């Protein structure tokens, strides 16, 4: 039985479609845990771009969002050839240093949730690598969802 409508954690996710390639498969014949985190990172970059923030632009004004902490819960496995959807939301933006994003990876065919992840980011000065106050682009474009 297929369910084309995932039970998203929150409404209106940003969605990045992913097809599981052979390079994602480990010796247990399913997607390696580290690959899910790569997809979360890919989704974060695409989500930022959709919000009007691309890496080159961020570098030009000397700031970036760096991962401070990642938490992932693995619920089910994915296999080669499967189509997945990586959903993302901004949960929090303190408009100073930190944002938090929520991610959910679902299998397209049965809408099963495979992974949930929450990632905390801190704004840094790219030159020094030290925390720095968010520029207006980050404050204004990373808009948290209403929970």
How far apart CA 51 and CA 45 sit, in angstroms, is: 10
**CB proximity list for 104: less than 8 A, separation 6 or greater:** 6, 8, 9, 13, 86, 87, 113, 115, 116, 117
Q: pLDDT tens, 66-90? A: 999 999 999 999 999 999 999 999 9
Q: What global pTM score does this model have?
A: 0.94
How far apart CA 10 and CA 118 sit, in angstroms, is: 13
Q: What is the pLDDT of residue 114?
A: 99
Domain of 121, in residue numbers:
14-141
Cβ-contact 7, 111 below 8 angstroms? yes
1 pLDDT exceeds 70? no
How far apart CA 105 and CA 47 sit, in angstroms, is: 14
Number of domains in the chain: 1
Q: What is the pLDDT of residue 54?
A: 87
Q: Kindly state whether residue 7 falls inside one of the protein's structural domains.
A: no
Q: What is the pLDDT of residue 77?
A: 98
- Report which of residues 129 and 2 the model is more confident about: 129
Q: Kindly state whether residue 118 falls inside one of the protein's structural domains.
A: yes
Q: Kindly state whether residue 69 falls inside one of the protein's structural domains.
A: yes
């Amino acid at each position: 039985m297929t369910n084309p409508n995932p039970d998203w954690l929150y409404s209106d996710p940003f969605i990045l479609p992913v097809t599981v390639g052979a390079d994602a498969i480990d010796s247990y014949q399913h997607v390696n845990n580290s690959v899910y985190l790569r997809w979360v990172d890919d989704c974060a970059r695409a989500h930022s771009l959709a919000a009007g923030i691309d890496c080159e632009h961020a570098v030009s004004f000397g700031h970036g969002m760096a991962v401070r902490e990642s938490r992932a819960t693995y619920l089910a496995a994915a296999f080669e050839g499967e189509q997945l959807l990586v959903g993302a939301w901004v949960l929090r933006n303190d408009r100073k240093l930190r944002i938090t994003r929520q991610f959910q990876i679902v299998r397209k065919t049965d809408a099963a949730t495979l992974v949930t992840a929450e990632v905390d980011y801190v704004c840094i000065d790219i030159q020094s690598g030290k925390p720095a106050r968010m520029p207006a682009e980050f404050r204004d474009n990373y808009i948290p969802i209403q929970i």
